[in-house]
Structure formats: structure tokens, C-alpha cells
Chain A
């Protein structure tokens, strides 16, 4: 055996050093270690050698095999590290490519705003109540101190469901007051479990028989509020309304009460809020710096009495917030008809 391991390995080492890819390494591995490769050739020559040389040659072959394997492993690691370094260069990266487009669902803006208000009111101990869209004339009008032939019925533009006038599409969420009094307050008072003040809100869909345009709808959403307790006063009403506005606009908003006539409250008010959008008058407040926000008042003693609550003992306040209008104000929606259109181009904006 004349050749040293070095002389045998040197050409292979050079090949390994020159390898540029895992494929190159595999080729070298195949050509050196597989059948017909350098190591195999060395082993194949052994029988022709004189016996004294045979052990040394066998040893050489194994050493060579070990050296090749070690060389290949080292080269593989080197190539892997080089690849990582190349990746780290971030070649061809376009920082401006857009992200994958997500498909999104979403809540209806009316629901989103209603939920905010529900959360605000429930945090103050109000319960959220519900009532039917088709309501009896009794609940919608009579028990609310609006007898038949009352001129206040004019302002309500009522959809009537039958010629007898027994059922109507509720013209406001105020029958929610009637139901709350009859179904919650009266039973609690009778059972001795009444824990005043009773606080409730009733969000819902309401209907008016009127021609539609960008600012008028025959179907819209309101939220009634009702508080009943001992000595509930106009001061409490003002306090509750200021809290409501702080919740909606996130800051202190000046309010004012003006007399307003609604047969189910006495005294009745229109509540104006200082326009949150301007200081000197804008299109939203019609240049008055006040926005007419909601009707409210102290519950009329007749309503309490009609529902079985003694007005000498209990008093309350009620308000009716226009949810549709509030949503339009909040998002700057200029056409009320979009709210119930089911148009995805509208819904997808929220």
C-alpha cells in the first residue's frame, strides 16, 4: 500500500469543498461510497494484493470511508448555514405587498349601537325588556292615556291591523312601559319583593304610516326607558340623560329640557343636547347648536294607575330614544332607508 489516506482523500475533499448543493453532496456520496465508488474500488482490489498488504489496505478503505462521511456531513452543515444566511438577506422582499384579504362578518350598526346602550344601562341596573311588534290598541294607546279620538293619535300615523282597531303595529316603544309596569312592577309590589327604583329599557322596531324618503321611514328603531320608584323627579331624569350622553359621546354634553306634549308623561319634555359636532351651528343641528334628541317626562299618573301602580306612592320617568336617528348621527348616514335595505355595500362598512 503506497498511497496514504491523504493522497486518497485529497481529490474527494476538493470535490466536497466545491459542492454547491445537497444534490452535489449526494452525487459525491454515491460516486465515492456506493458500488463502483472509490472506497469500493479500494476494497475490490484487496484480493489481488499480497497478503501482507491486505490488512493495511482494508484499514485505509475504512478510514477513507470515515473521512468522506465526515466531510460530507460537515459540508452539509456548511451548506445549510449558508442557506440560512441567504434567507436572512431577504432578497426580493416587497414590503408593500398587501396582506391576504380576510372575509369578515359584522354586526348591523343598529345592533352595535343598541348593544352599547344596553351595556351602559345594564351596568346601572336596568333590565332589558322586549315587546311585540303587533301590539294591542290598548297597550299602544289607551293605557298610555291616549283614548280613542285623541288628537295625539294623529301625530302617530298608525298602521292599523284590523278594522275594529284592536291591533296596531306599535307606533313607539312606549307600550314597553305598560308591559314593564304590568308584568314586572305590579307583581313585585304585590309580592313584597319590589326593590325600587325599577329600571328598564325596551329597544325595538316601531312603525309609522308615512311616506318614506331619505329622512323618513315607516319602520325604524327606538329605545324606551322607564324608571319607577319613590320620589323619582325631573332631576333624576336629567341625571339619567346626562349619563346616557356621557356614555354615547364619551364626554360631558350639556342638555336642556323644553316642554313637549306626550299624553303618557306629565310634565313632558323634549330633551335637547348641545350639538356634539360643532360650536357655532352646523348642518346636523340645523345651525341651532342644539340637537333635539329625545322626548321624555315623568310618567303620567293615569298611566301608572291604568297599569295598577298607585301614583300617590310611586312616581317615575320615561324616555324614548330614536335609535335609528342616533345611528345615523353616529356614523354620518344620510339616508335612513339604508338601515333596513340588506345591502351588503352598506353592511360591509361596519
Chain B
């Protein structure tokens, strides 16, 4: 909302002399957010009042004029002017050479059709005064030649831009008088009285109004006769322009002016075009239609509130008037409507139709029904000042079951101090009373308990409970005067938070030892991504009003979020290692969606060379990383078993998917990416990648018991290190070999490390070779060559059992 200082000064003259930036600051600290301060039409201070001394046709043009203009400089300026209305004897606004007009338009000496022009005679639009561009702006004949326009015509004004959101709870601040009232309270001044008493009315039959819906609590209708249409007075035009409203025509401007002045929307019907009496206020009927005054045909629903003349809808209550009965140039008889509508009803209609108007914005804040009467009187009085001959043929109709919302709230001064955190020296009872009175909140009481009268305009919304008054006192007292205080309480440590500790350990381990980059992703997954991953058919939680088409669904798990950025990242990086700790959701009928909280990891790297070591690939690295985090979390070593599929993850390699378990508890899965999906994700050609991914459930990890590390005495007897190589059928699993070696060790095998897997041609068809470092150690004696020999004999037997043999070194 834009607020003009000059306009504010109509309600509190004192404000005219306060610097606009200071007004903005004061309002910010006590009332609402001021987003900016602008000078109104700054060009007006740069242009000079001139007198058209001569006018002649341009020698070389049939529509241009050649003028000689006196700007008080002692010599006449020759100015070429294209406006049809320029005439000798006019006072005009002249932009002399060097002046810059809005739009960064700099006036230079120029030649127009061969004739030199030393400036420009300006139209209103050229000066930033609205749209008027039918010709030059003709100033009053008493304007003083040579003076700057703004100062001479008293048009200096400043505009405060107030953040509407900060006024959501203050229906009383949606007009200049409300803001002026706040500033008066801040500065300890009083507001000028408002002439809102309705002049005497004739005794014709009052206009009939029937309110059928409780969504209209008050409907005031007043016929006004003998009005004339035309241009609004300059002062009104300038105030409207200052706050960004385009002046149109007196009646429309007046209606707007009163709304922006008092915050009460109102409507003027052309009475001659209202076909049908009485005015009926009712809910719309199903499939009913009406044309609003912006010319659009609107489909209505039964929650919309209509103003009808007889049967015909003539306005969409609180939102917009109708096309058919709007005032026009020939309007002579008015029906003034000032009403109070239900905020929720107006809000629903305006948001449904996407029709947010100045009126609907105000009604939805919940205006006091008392304001309607005040605005009626104010409008009539303003109109009478301009057109004293208007007549009010009939008494005001006041329909609807309205109630004055004014109330009393009891306020304990001690509560004010306790909530603010100040003592009685800082904020005495007397000071509290004084602040309340500055805010026009009359109060009385003793022993620290005040009864505060809440005036109607403040009572509909923001002042309903005691704590609201704490704010009233606090904001005028100023929060900057409240001293900083420390919390005091017991020093008991907060309860342990296992999941947070777990998350931290995972993050530190993965970002450190694991060399993974942590990422955070959107919870939305694009339909296109879901399709690539084969997830389209799965039920997802979703939003019904997405920011973009195809971006409605919420991820069920974290892993899909890590797959989308692989392709762009692989363009810059040979080895992409990402992890994310986050949440996923799946729908559960009408219940709260089921939440998973998990860790997802992905490695995508250049495929390794054909002769790379068996553990030089994404899958092995990732499995190592999973082992390592379990170690870091002090869990038992995980075990891995092959899975045919993971529910909800069809993008995994059908043959390379493992369940990860600790003991009996399944904690997640580890898999290669399905090669088909790799292609879908663009990981082909130069970006062909070796991709492995894993997901671990945080809830499962938290629930898994940890083991304290127990120290084992250092070996007292030297052990022996033996390398063994086994030639085996390709189908034999490494784990079976490890178990066989352990068995062969008869409890002495302290460590068994696979260091080579060979499947090349030298292994023979259907054969492979596995090579191990085995470390044997005893707690009781030094091991000898004989122990090694016996071990190798047993290994030989085990190898045979596995269908292979021990290869001799």
C-alpha cells in the first residue's frame, strides 16, 4: 500500500513537516514494515513555470507550433510544440535544456523541422502525472512565471511504500486516516476530526434493501441526486496519482479516494441503470453468471455473495461492481452503497476468481461495520464540497444485523511488564495508561488492573485478548528500550539423542574417510525422472498445486534424488561420490504418509580397465564404505546376501543387488545400477559409468545395538604369514573360500585377506584363481614351519572339496 505524506497531513497537519524517511523509520519501529520512500513525481521540481508569450504555426509543418515562452530568465525561449492545445497566454510547465524527465529523457537543444527548440512544453504524462496526454498541461493562470512547478503549485509530496503483509492483522490501517492515527500516537499528537456527519436528507421513501445472507452484516444505501461527472479537482488527482491510482473521473475517483482515505470500500451505482428494486444481498445460485465492470463474464458458485437489483446481479459483493450499473458520463442519480461483508466469504470468492481488488483486500481483513457509516458521511460531505447542489432525496437505509464490535479488555499492568521484561521504574502504570491513551484506547482502573475500551475499528481482529494490549504498549514504548535478559534454569543435560549422534557420525565418516560429498535434494521428483527409473506406476504422495507441470510427486526414498545429478556431474568429474541423509514419504490412504529417514550413497566413476583389480570398481568401493560406516558406528560387521529385487527400487541391477544385514536385522541394500537405467540417465558413450548405490535406514541403524570396542592383548608369540592361491571353478563364492580357509586355520587364522582374483585365460576354462594372505597366530606358542605345512595340507583338502586345488607357488 502506498501512503502519501500530503494525504496523511489532511488528518494530522503536523506530519507535513516531518521528513518522510523519519516517518518511515518511526512506522517501522512501532507499526508496520515500510519498504521504501519515494518522492512523488520528482520531475515537477525540475520544470519551470512558463508563459506562452507568442504562438505561431511552424513554418514547415501543419501541426507543430512555434512558441516564444517566458520562463523568467529575462529572454524568451523559442520552443517548438506539437500539442494541439497550446495557445498564447497560457501558463505552462517548461523543461528547459538540461532537464531530465521520467524515463531518463534528457532535454537537449535541438532542431525540429529546421527550427531550433530551446526546451519542451510538457504534458502531464511527460512529468509522471498519470496518463493524460491529450495535450500540454495548462497551469492555473495565477502560477508564478519562473518558479519551479512543484514548489509554486504546492505539489511536493513523498510516498511511503508499506508492506501489505505487515498489515494483515490491522484492518484499521488500510487507509490514510489509520496510518495518520498511528503516527499521531507515536508523536503524541491528535488527529483532526473527520466531518462524517451525514447532511440532512429528504423524506422520500428510503431505498429498499433486503439482506438475505448473514455474510453481509451491514448494508447502507443512500440515493444521491443531481450529481455531475467530470474531471476531479487537482488536489484529489495528485493525491491519487501519488499513491499509484489513475484518476479517471470524479465519481469513480471519489469512491476510490474515500476507500484509500478511510480504508472502507464503497460503491456508486448509476441509479438510472439499476433495473429493479429492492437491492437484495444474497448468495449466488448454482450456475449463475454476471459481468463484472472489467467486462469479464464470471461464473458464480453458491458461496459467492451477490448484490442484486431485484433479480439482476449488479455487484459481486466486496470484490467488484457490475458492468451494467456502473457510473458513466451521463450519470446524474447515484445509489451509494457502503457495506460490511464477511471476510472469509470475500476472500474465498476473490481467490477463486483470481480477482484480488483493493476492495477485497480490505474486506478480508474484517472491517468494522461502524466504519461503513463514517465512510458514507465522509463521501457525501466531500461530494457536497465539490458539488453543493447535490440532493439527498431520502433517508439512509441501514440494513443488516450488525453489532458494534467495540469491547472492553482487562489488562494487568504487571503482565505487561513481565511479558516485556521490564520493571516498574522502566515502565510505570502511569506510562502504560499514557501509551494506551495515545493509541485512542481509553482505560480506567486501579491496583494494576485496567479496563481498556477497544474502539470498534480495532476490535474486529487484532485487539481481542490481554496479550494484544501488551503488544500495543510494547510497540509504542519501543522494544529497543527492553533490556537484554538471560534465561535461568536448571543445568540438567538434555536427554541423549541417538539419531542425531548417528547422523553426525555418518556425515563425518562419509565426508572424511569415505571422501563422499554430501548433497541435499528437493523432495519433489520430476515425472520425467520417475519414468527413467521405472517408478511412474508406484503410488507417491503429491501436491495438487505444483510450481511446474510434472513436478507434483514427493520422493519415496532418497536414492532417486542422487541419480538425477549423475549425468551433469560426470561431465566434470571422473569419480562422483555423493551421499544424502534425508526423508521420503509414501501415501497411506487418508492417514499421515509413511516416512522413511535414510542415508543414500552413490558412486559413479569411469569404468575401470579390463585388468583392474577385483576391488577396483564402484560396487567394491561402496561395499567397503558401508563396511566402514558400520565399523565407525561400532556395529557388528554387516553381512550381504543376494536379493532378487528391492521393493520400490526397480532401477537396481537385477543380478547385482544385495541386502545389507547386521545380525538378523536388515538395514538396507547395496546394488549396481541397472544398465538400462544407466543409458536412460545419459550415462553412455563418453559418460559410460560404473555406478553403485546403497541405501541404509537410519531407523534400523539406530535400533541396532552397538558393541563397545574391547582391547585384545598384543600377540606374545610371532605368527606366520602364508600366501595361498587356489584354482577353483568360477561358480565358487569367495565367502565359501574364506570360510574354508578359516576352517583350515583351526582357530589360528587371525586374518584372511583376499588380494587377487584372476579369471583370465591362464586360469583355464571355467576356472578362476583366488589368492589370499593368511596370517596365522597362536596365543600359546611360536608357530613353526610345521604349522604352515599342516595348514597347507588342510587347505589342499578344502580346495579339493570345493572342486579345485591349491596352486603350488
Contacts and interface: CB of A to CB of B under 8 A. Distances in A.
Given A132-B583, A267-B475, A342 B519 contact: yes
Contacts of A301: 465, 467
From A227, A339, A345, name the one whose CB has the most chain B CB atoms within 10 angstroms: A345
Interface string B510-541: 11101111111111100000000000000001
Contacts of A221: 520
B385 interface: no
Contact of A261 (B169, B418, B486, B521): B169
B519 A219 contact: no
B422 interface: yes
Contacts of B746: none
B521 A163 contact: no
A322 to B, nearest CB: 15
B242 interface: no
Contact of A162 (B30, B343, B494, B544): B544
B733 interface: no
Contacts of A235: 420-422, 482-485
Contact of A347 (B519, B541, B544): B519
A124 B491 CA distance: 9
Interface in A59-96: none
From A127, A148, A258, A340, name the one whose CB has the most chain B CB atoms within 10 angstroms: A258
B564 A342 contact: yes
Contacts of B491: 125
Nearest to A108: B518
Contact of B480 (A111, A257, A339, A344): A257
B319 to A, nearest CB: 15
Interface in B570-604: 572-573, 575-578, 583, 585, 590, 592-593, 595
Contacts of B572: 344-345
A127 B495 contact: yes
B808 interface: no
Nearest to A211: B547
Given A133-B523, A205-B523, A235-B485, A343 B365 contact: no
A40 to B, nearest CB: 36
A257 B483 CA distance: 12
A342 B578 contact: yes
Nearest to A339: B520
A199 B166 CA distance: 28
A210 B546 CA distance: 9
A1 B568 CA distance: 90
A221 B573 CA distance: 28
B554 interface: yes
A231 B418 contact: yes
Contact of B468 (A134, A163, A227, A266): A266
Contact of A239 (B486, B521, B522): B486
A229 B494 contact: no
Given A128-B497, A167-B593, A211-B547, A103 B562 contact: no
Given A266-B468, A266-B471, A195 B29 contact: no
A344 B573 CA distance: 8
Interface string B443-456: 00000000000000
Interface in B453-474: 465, 467-468, 470-471, 474
Nearest to A347: B517
Contact of B569 (A148, A161, A207, A343): A343
Interface stretch (A13-21, A47-55, A152-160, A172-180): A152-160
A203 to B, nearest CB: 10
Contacts of A140: none
B489 interface: yes
A257 B569 contact: no
A344 B576 contact: yes
Contacts of A238: 421, 479, 482-485
Interface in B84-117: none
B474 A234 contact: yes
B666 interface: no
Nearest to B564: A342
A196 interface: yes
A348 interface: yes
Nearest to A301: B467
Given A105-B512, A125-B494, A149-B348, A134 B593 contact: yes
B176 interface: no
A267 B327 CA distance: 44
Nearest to A297: B471
Given A103-B575, A195-B489, A261 B168 contact: yes
Chain B contact patch, size range: 35 or more
A115 B489 CA distance: 24
B237 interface: no
B465 A259 contact: no
Contacts of A260: 33, 166
B710 interface: no
A199 to B, nearest CB: 7
Contacts of B422: 235
A343 B520 CA distance: 10
Contacts of B593: 132, 134, 167
B178 to A, nearest CB: 15
Contact of B29 (A234, A256, A263, A311): A256
A274 interface: no
B29 to A, nearest CB: 6
B471 A104 contact: no
Nearest to B543: A159
A266 B592 CA distance: 30
Contacts of A268: 471
A340 B487 contact: no
A151 interface: yes
A4 interface: no
A106 interface: yes
From A105, A122, A196, A343, name the one whose CB has the most chain B CB atoms within 10 angstroms: A105
A259 B576 CA distance: 48
A91 B310 CA distance: 108
Interface in A104-149: 104-108, 110-111, 115, 118, 122, 124-128, 130, 132-134, 136, 148-149
B343 A163 contact: no
Given A106-B518, A211-B547, A298-B419, A229 B489 contact: yes
A161 B543 contact: yes
B347 interface: yes
B610 interface: no
Nearest to B166: A261
B522 A219 contact: yes
A205 B555 CA distance: 14
Contacts of B595: 132, 134
A256 B480 contact: yes
A309 interface: no
Interface string B774-799: 00000000000000000000000000
B45 interface: no
B521 A342 contact: yes
Interface of A: 103-108, 110-111, 115, 118, 122, 124-128, 130, 132-134, 136, 148-149, 151-152, 154-155, 159-163, 166-167, 169, 195-197, 199, 205, 207, 209-212, 218-219, 221, 227, 229, 231-236, 238-240, 242, 256-261, 263, 266-270, 298, 300-302, 311, 315, 339-345, 347-348
For the complex of A and B, list the 7 residue pairs with the smallest distance between their C-beta atoms, beginning with the closest: A235-B421, A233-B421, A342-B565, A267-B471, A235-B485, A149-B344, A257-B479
5 contacts: A151-B168, A199-B487, A238-B479, A260-B166, A270-B33
Interface of B: 28-33, 165-170, 343-344, 347-348, 351, 364-365, 418-422, 465, 467-468, 470-471, 474-475, 479-480, 482-495, 497, 499-500, 504, 507, 510-512, 514-524, 541-547, 554, 561-562, 564-565, 568-569, 572-573, 575-578, 583, 585, 590, 592-593, 595
Given A134-B585, A151-B364, A161-B542, 14 more contacts: A105-B577, A108-B518, A167-B593, A196-B489, A205-B523, A211-B547, A218-B524, A257-B479, A259-B30, A266-B470, A298-B467, A347-B517, A347-B518, A347-B578
